[in-house]
């Protein structure tokens, strides 16, 4: 009897799965303020992944900012909170943004050789490898006691405050080639999460750990 060799067809196709998770805590007390999954802007994320793979352009080629806003929910006359749907889509959309972005921070990888604004020990991006078919992008952002400027002294304000946040998102890098200015207004929104309002005040130091998992299937 002759041996039968199995000719396996090469796996020519694969699916890229991208999902995110947000953990917001009071850095001093350890209190968990938000712990939930987020929505991915698949159209914009696909473009950024392709840009990163091509290495042809720096713009829109990776995560650079974390944006905060207060337009993700409405307080009804009954006192209950109505949450809006996320501003995400399946096609590239340069106009996608938070409902009302009131603050943002750079969360880039720390470096001493880059001329643009960079991250630091409390605001940065890490690549977490795994033994499986996925890699995590861990984005850490810390709002210190003194930021944002103009915040309330204590965490007992109404939801009308600019810094009672109920939405946040990650943005790609964008630099205006004419002015060399870094502009979040023209950056692609990559993810959007809406949650129960959380106030940032001077008596609170808040840490956001935003994890994006990229998985091949």
- Supply the pLDDT for residue 7: 61
In which band, very low, low, confident or very high, does the pLDDT at 53 lie, cut at 50, 70 and 90?
confident
The confidence score (pLDDT) of residue 113 equals 52
- The pTM (predicted TM-score) of the whole model is 0.87
SS3 105: strand
Q: pLDDT tens for residues 136-153?
A: 999 999 999 999 999 888
Section 123-139 average pLDDT: 90
What share of the chain has pLDDT > 70, as a percent? 87
More confident call, 91 vs 59: 91
Q: To which residue do tokens 């950024």 refer?
A: 48
Q: Which two tokens stand for residue 179?
A: 């002015």
pLDDT of 22 > 80? The answer is yes
User: pLDDT at residue 69 above 90?
Assistant: yes
Extended beta strands in 52-107, E state: 63-69, 73-75, 81-83, 101-106
pLDDT over 60 at 23, yes or no? yes
pLDDT band at 16 (very low <50, low <70, confident <90, very high): confident
pLDDT at 141: 96
Nearest to 44 by CA among 174, 194, 183: 174
CA 157 to centroid of chain Cα atoms: 26
Q: How many CB atoms lie within 10 A of CB 70?
A: 23
Residue range 171-211, pLDDT digits in tens? 998 888 888 888 899 999 999 999 999 999 999 999 999 99
Identify the residue with better confidence: 35 or 115: 35
Write down the pLDDT at residue 60.
75
Name the nearest CA neighbour of 58 among 150, 175, 140.
175
């Amino acid at each position: 009897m002759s041996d039968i060799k199995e000719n396996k067809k090469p796996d020519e196709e694969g699916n890229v799965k991208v999902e995110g998770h947000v953990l917001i805590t009071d850095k001093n007390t350890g209190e968990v303020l938000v712990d939930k999954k987020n929505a991915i802007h698949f159209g914009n994320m696909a473009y950024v992944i392709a840009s990163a793979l091509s290495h042809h352009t720096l713009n829109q080629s990776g995560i650079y900012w974390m944006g905060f806003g207060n337009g993700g929910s409405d307080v009804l006359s009954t006192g209950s909170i109505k949450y809006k749907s996320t501003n995400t889509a399946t096609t590239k959309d340069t106009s996608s943004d938070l409902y009302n972005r009131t603050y943002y921070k750079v969360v880039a990888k720390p470096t001493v050789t880059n001329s643009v604004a960079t991250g630091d020990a409390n605001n940065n991006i890490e690549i977490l490898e795994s033994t499986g078919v996925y890699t995590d992008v861990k984005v850490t952002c810390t709002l210190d006691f003194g930021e944002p400027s103009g915040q309330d002294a204590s965490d007992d304000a109404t939801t009308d405050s600019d810094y009672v946040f109920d939405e946040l998102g990650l943005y790609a890098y964008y630099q205006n080639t004419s002015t060399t200015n870094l502009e979040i207004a023209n950056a692609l929104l990559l993810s959007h999460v809406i949650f129960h309002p959380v106030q940032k005040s001077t008596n609170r130091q808040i840490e956001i750990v935003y994890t994006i998992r990229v998985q091949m299937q």
